Amino acid sequence: MWLDSTLISIVKETKNTWKFVIKVHSDFNYNPGQFVQIKFNDLIRSYSISSYGLEGNVFELLIVKLEGGKMTRYLFENTKEGDKLEIKGPLGKFILPETITGDIIFVCTGTGIAPFRSILQRLMDNKINHKNIYLIFGTREKKDILYFDEMNNLENLINGFKYIPVLSREKLEGKSGYVHNQYLDLIKGNKLKDPIFYLCGWRDMIKEARVNLKECGFDSKKIKLEIYG
Ligand SMILES: Cc1cc2nc3c(=O)[nH]c(=O)nc-3n(C[C@H](O)[C@H](O)[C@H](O)COP(=O)(O)OP(=O)(O)OC[C@H]3O[C@@H](n4cnc5c(N)ncnc54)[C@H](O)[C@@H]3O)c2cc1C
């Protein structure tokens, strides 16, 4: 069922990654980590919900403009605040277990941070019991980092939360690299207890991470995937 909704604001997070704030005109309850679909003519695309706890059936999406992308061209070039949208959802099972018994490792690149932001906000707001939580976020350059201040701030607000940003084309605090070295370092340093890995972003990163984790001996049940394309 397609739900009537309105685009209530558009905010530039970086040059190519914008936040789209949407209000659904009916009850809309979701579990953080889930996504919605947007329909425009015959195009349907999925987007993770990046917020949690906003009042009035409102939620945020974090969307990157793709060169030659049909839906993103429409969203970035042809929509404005107040426009009507058709939304389906919430959908998906990329959510936390009901009881968290081990460490959680979120691994993402670019807008793949969206579902993790929603999950972290809920963990904080609802004071959910958890063990250590790592957020490994990769992008190319400093100008592309998403929610840098917010994630640094969450380190002070969520017990056992560690934010690990990493850049592939510039240095951050003297270091650069890819997300893969970061979780492999945690594994090799025996820092993780009964971990569940959540991987989110584009296919190549997820494929490589999945192979690495399987080689380290982790069962598929402990590796959750949200593949963007
Ligand atoms: C469950 C789910 C959740 C998603 N959540 C988000 C989200 O929160 N934010 C978000 O931005 N996207 C998200 N996506 C991706 C989104 O659904 C679209 O695929 C994306 O916006 C591109 O759509 P488009 O119509 O603009 O491009 P299309 O017209 O479909 O494709 C344009 C071209 O870009 C290519 N392409 C695909 N990926 C990339 C890439 N990484 N870099 C360069 N070119 C690429 C395609 O192969 C194609 O050739 C999600 C996807 C899924 C399945």
Confidence of residue 73 (pLDDT cuts 50, 70, 90): very high
> What pLDDT does 182 receive?
97
Alpha carbon of 46 to ligand 1 centroid (Å) = 8
Helices 203-215 and 179-188, packing angle to 10 deg: 20
Q: How confident is the model over 149-173, as pLDDT tens digits?
A: 999 999 999 999 999 999 999 999 8
68 within ligand 1 shell (Cβ under 6 A)? yes
End-to-end Cα, the chain, rounded Å: 24
Q: How confident is the model over 30-42, as pLDDT tens digits?
A: 999 999 999 999 9
> Which residues make beta-bridge pairs with 43?
40
161 within ligand 1 shell (Cβ under 6 A)? no
Mean pLDDT, residues 189-195 taken together: 94
Structural tokens at position 9: 């604001």
Alpha carbon of 205 to ligand 1 centroid (Å) = 14
Mean pLDDT, residues 132-150 taken together: 97
Mean pLDDT, residues 166-195 taken together: 95
Confidence of residue 191 (pLDDT cuts 50, 70, 90): confident
d(CA 95, CA 79) in angstroms, rounded, equals 30
> What pLDDT does 35 receive?
98
> What pLDDT does 137 receive?
98
**Structural domains in the chain, sorted by start:** 3-91 (2.40.30.10), 104-227 (3.40.50.80)
Mean pLDDT, residues 8-12 taken together: 98
**Order of all β-strands in the sheet with 223-227:** 161-167, 133-139, 104-109, 196-201, 223-227
Task: Kindly report the three-state secondary structure assignment for every residue of the chain.
Answer: CCEEEEEEEEEECCCCEEEEEEEECCCCCCCCCCEEEEEECCEEEEEEECCCCCCCCEEEEEEECCCCCHHHHHHHHHCCCCCEEEEEEEECCCCCCCCCCCCEEEEEEHHHHHHHHHHHHHHHHCCCCCCCEEEEEEECCHHHCCCHHHHHHHHHHCCCEEEEEEECCCCECCECCCHHHHHHHHHHCCCCCCCEEEEEECHHHHHHHHHHHHHCCCCHHHEEEEECC
pLDDT: which is higher, 191 or 205 = 205
111 within ligand 1 shell (Cβ under 6 A)? yes
Mean pLDDT, residues 45-70 taken together: 97
Confidence of residue 174 (pLDDT cuts 50, 70, 90): confident
Give yes or no for residue 222 having a pLDDT over 90: yes
Nearest CA-CA partner of 131 in 191, 185, 181: 191
Alpha carbon of 176 to ligand 1 centroid (Å) = 26
Ligand 1: atom nearest CA of 74 is 26
